[in-house]
Chains A and B, each alone.
Chain A
Amino acid sequence: MYPAPFDYHRANSVDEAIGMLSDIGEGARVMAGGQSLLPVLKMRFDELTDIVDIGRIPDLNQIEENGNGVSIGALTTHSCIAASALAGSVPILLDCASGIADVQVRSRGTIGGSVASGDPSCDWPALLHTLDAEIQCQGPNGTRTLDINGFVEDLYQTALQPSEIITGIRFKRPGAGSGGAYCAFKRCAPAYPTTSVGVQLTITDGQVESARVALGSSGLTPIRAQQAEAELEGQSLGAGQIGRAADAAVAASDPVDDQRGSADFKRQLIAHLTKRAIGIAERRASGEQVVNSHEYY
């Protein structure tokens, strides 16, 4: 399958990319790794006239740590994140990065593309809700920083303005007493999750001080399950609290029947993954090493 014809432009800097996008206008699309865009073009679901390839812009694929601030360049691939020292010490990042698709997709696909695609099945946007991440953007009117909450506005629709690109992702490194887990269930490696749940807990003296619960592949956008967080905060974790949080996560979800499963099946899965993610997050918060990643049968 060929994509329909288009013109191709390779940008060597962020400014050059923004210039190209503004000059071309409506028919232009950014391409990073192409792992979401190319399948869409091959199916001819999008009618574009021009591709602006940002994949080679230098310095956008760096992971930097400054005090407890972390920034990940938009072009950093899933496999680079999985192999990074950062993922070694913030295991929720490893859960996600090493479980996306398969080795081949992970060597090309980028975190920026995952967030910019506005695809509720992409794992990074859901995960980044658990870290209160900020999205750094640059466009014709300069730079701005947007909260991940609300960044994905609707199915395939983000807060990005025309000709604006994501340059990086920023968040604070979770501190001592904080642990997270990202649990996703999928049909096979090269498939998007059926559903996924990310949890980050900060636990002090046996009590949950703060909680984040976010769902992927569970509705038209990534979903932050605030009622589930409220069920956990201020509590010491027991089966009752965890069960109520799982129920609240299910209530926040809005899954549909599709080839990945029925909405009912997905709701059961969300409950199960929420409980599992809370359990792993709690153990990690106490300093235990727990191996976890996407699961499939």
Chain B
Amino acid sequence: MSERIGITVTVNGTRYEREVEPRLLLVQLIREELRLTGTHIGCDTSYCGACTILLDGEPVKSCTMLAVQADGGEVLTVEGLEKDGKLHPLQEAFSEHHGLQCGYCTPGMLMSAYYLLEQNPDPSNAEIRKGIQGNLCRCTGYKNIFAAISDAAAKMQTGS
């Protein structure tokens, strides 16, 4: 048995201290230890992006990181998008534009879209496509996802 390692991770503003096995994946820490099950495991092989979270502001696939690698870091998951009981404009737009069907890909889509709009508040269609190229959706055909992201971008710009 390998030696457990003490880590501290801040998730959605809350600090957690845990002793973890080195092989524990970040997504397992988030889902199984911290019980934040909004972050999904789709492929578990780095392909689908369902497990996307932000670590220190950058999008990563949490199935392809060890929890120990996130030690000292700040994690943002889909649960952290809502503020004061109000959904994030991206979440509103996904709902309004029917940007999801089964919803499996949605948490990861939202996190990649959130990062995209932080980097580029007014993305072109091509930039939206490139921004979520690491997130696969088996249901929607993407069209409504693109529409939701561009609408959210417009609403966030005008502050409405």
What residues make up the interface of A, taking CB atoms closer than 8 Å to B? Answer: 1-8, 10, 34-35, 38-39, 41-42, 51, 53, 55, 79, 101-105, 107-108, 188-191
Closest A residue, CB atoms, query B62:
A104
Contact with A along B41-81 (1 / 0, CB 8 A): 00011111100100000111100111011000000000000
On whether the beta carbons of A5 and B23 are closer than 8 Å, the reply is: yes
Q: Shortest Cβ distance from B67 into chain A, in angstroms?
A: 10
28 inter-chain pairs at a CB distance below 8 angstroms, sorted by A residue, are A2-B23, A2-B24, A4-B23, A5-B22, A5-B23, A7-B2, A8-B2, A8-B3, A8-B5, A8-B22, A8-B68, A10-B68, A35-B64, A38-B65, A42-B45, A102-B134, A103-B130, A103-B131, A103-B133, A103-B134, A104-B61, A104-B134, A105-B61, A105-B64, A107-B58, A107-B59, A188-B133, A190-B134
Interface residue B25 (Cβ < 8 Å from any Cβ of A) = yes
Chain A residues near B65 (CB-CB < 8 A): 34, 38, 108
Interface residue B115 (Cβ < 8 Å from any Cβ of A) = yes
Known: A1-B44, A190-B49. A38 touches B64 (CB 8 A): yes
Interface residue B122 (Cβ < 8 Å from any Cβ of A) = no
Chain A residues near B22 (CB-CB < 8 A): 5-8, 51
Listed from nearest, the 7 A-B pairs whose CB atoms lie closest are A102-B134, A8-B22, A189-B133, A107-B58, A5-B2, A3-B23, A104-B61
Closest B residue, CB atoms, query A108:
B60
Chain A residues near B102 (CB-CB < 8 A): none
Interface residue B92 (Cβ < 8 Å from any Cβ of A) = no
Interface residue B21 (Cβ < 8 Å from any Cβ of A) = yes
Q: Shortest Cβ distance from A162 into chain B, in angstroms?
A: 22
Chain A residues near B133 (CB-CB < 8 A): 102-103, 188-190
Chain A residues near B48 (CB-CB < 8 A): 190
Chain B residues near A191 (CB-CB < 8 A): 47
Interface centre among B1, B64, B116 (most CB of A within 10 A): B64
Give Cα A5 to B49, complex, Å. Answer: 25
On whether the beta carbons of A5 and B1 are closer than 8 Å, the reply is: yes
Give Cα A35 to B66, complex, Å. Answer: 11
Taking A8-B5, A38-B65, A190-B136 as known contacts, 11 extra A-B pairs with beta carbons closer than 8 A to each other, sorted by chain A number, are A6-B2, A7-B22, A8-B66, A34-B65, A39-B46, A41-B23, A101-B134, A102-B135, A108-B64, A108-B65, A191-B47
Interface residue B150 (Cβ < 8 Å from any Cβ of A) = no
Interface residues in B1-19 by Cβ distance below 8 A to A read: 1-3, 5
Closest A residue, CB atoms, query B41:
A1
Interface residue B106 (Cβ < 8 Å from any Cβ of A) = no
Chain A residues near B131 (CB-CB < 8 A): 103
On whether the beta carbons of B64 and A6 are closer than 8 Å, the reply is: no
Chain B residues near A2 (CB-CB < 8 A): 23-25, 28
On whether the beta carbons of A34 and B64 are closer than 8 Å, the reply is: yes
Give Cα A5 to B24, complex, Å. Answer: 9
**B49 touches which of A34, A51, A102 (Cβ 8 Å):** A102
Interface residue B112 (Cβ < 8 Å from any Cβ of A) = yes
Q: Shortest Cβ distance from B68 into chain A, in angstroms?
A: 6
On whether the beta carbons of B59 and A103 are closer than 8 Å, the reply is: yes
On whether the beta carbons of A79 and B58 are closer than 8 Å, the reply is: yes
Give Cα A35 to B47, complex, Å. Answer: 12
Chain B residues near A55 (CB-CB < 8 A): 69
